[in-house]
A = this chain, B = another copy of it.
Amino acid sequence: MRFDEAYSGKVFIASQSDYKTADVVLYGMPMDWTVSFRPGSRFGPNRIREVSIGLEEYSPYLDRELTDIHVFDAGDIPLPFGNPEKSLQMIKDYIKTLLKDGKMPFGMGGEHLVTLPVVEAVYEALSDVTLIHIDAHTDLRDHYEGEVYSHSTPVKKICELIGPENVYSFGIRSGMKEEFDYAKKSGMHLFKYDVLAPLKTVLPDLSGKNVYVTIDIDVLDPASAPGTGTQEVGGITSKELLDAIHAISASDVNVVGCDLVEVAPPYDNSDQTAIAASKFIREMLLGFVK
């Protein structure tokens, strides 16, 4: 007696109702409590689902349909307001279960800090993982006004976990001097302003590797993604981000998990950013899930 959720905006379009047969599990991480400027990304995952009903299931870029893969949309992890540490623990525990069940994790943020526990869980399971990080911001702070768990620190923490030489950042155009200095000295790979060109040079080196892909929607120019906490002009176009996703899809890396974060509906005029995110997610699903 319940009408089909897969075409109602209550789950991501064309997702299926059976967890067991799923290849990939989509889940929301509705957390924005450590954000310094404009909060609101806690509402991102649900809005992305809601507007996904406007999508075609077929990608002319990849010549593939969503029904060709098995996606299960698990809903949002019920994270406790204002408690970053407990939130991160809940995310990590959930991802461990997914990995144990052989599912590829696909997260929707929420602030960027949510990527940290996912990568921790993936690293614990695989003991070898490379990060492709597409973002306007370095996210390389040690702490933000004393808080180590902050939306400004996750990439730094991941560098410490998996080794800076295994971290590749693209599109970066904002950060503190200290963060750029760390990037230079530590051996991590930070590419400023552009995404597609440096990605194409890097991908052959990552051939066969386990890769986790994290995309902060603010890598886009605010023209394409006004609905985010910290807009940074001088960003890439939505065409370039599509091309970047397709470049990863066409490469020989082994995508073991991914996320798209920082869609903030309170600042998102006519749902422009959420609609964009829904299409990037379709392409990531069709391109990353083999």
A227 CB within 8 Å of chain B: yes
> Does A3 contact B144, Cβ atoms closer than 8 Å?
no
CA gap between A142 and B50 in the complex, in Å: 27
Question: For the complex, would chain A's binding face be called helix, strand, loop or mixed by DSSP majority?
Answer: loop
CA gap between A272 and B39 in the complex, in Å: 16
> Does B8 contact A78, Cβ atoms closer than 8 Å?
yes
Residues of B within 8 A of A37 (CB): 53-54
Interface size of A by Cβ–Cβ distance < 8 Å? 92
List residues of A (46-93) whose CB comes within 8 Å of B's CBs: 46, 49-50, 53-54, 56-58, 60-61, 63, 65, 72, 74-78, 80-84
A173 CB within 8 Å of chain B: yes
> Does B146 contact A233, Cβ atoms closer than 8 Å?
no
> Does A8 contact B60, Cβ atoms closer than 8 Å?
no
Q: Which of A117-125, A218-226, A247-255 contacts B (4 or more CB under 8 A)?
A: A218-226
> Does A81 contact B144, Cβ atoms closer than 8 Å?
yes
Q: Which of A155-163, A196-204, A208-216, A261-269 contacts B (4 or more CB under 8 A)?
A: A261-269
> Does A77 contact B3, Cβ atoms closer than 8 Å?
yes
> Does B224 contact A222, Cβ atoms closer than 8 Å?
yes
> Does B266 contact A40, Cβ atoms closer than 8 Å?
yes
> Does A275 contact B2, Cβ atoms closer than 8 Å?
no
Contact with B along A11-49 (1 / 0, CB 8 A): 100000001000001011000111111111011001001
Contact with B along A220-263 (1 / 0, CB 8 A): 01111011001111110111011000000000000000000000
Residues of B within 8 A of A42 (CB): 39
Could you list 8 examples of A-B contacts with CB < 8 Å? A5-B75, A9-B46, A39-B39, A60-B180, A63-B177, A80-B146, A221-B224, A233-B276
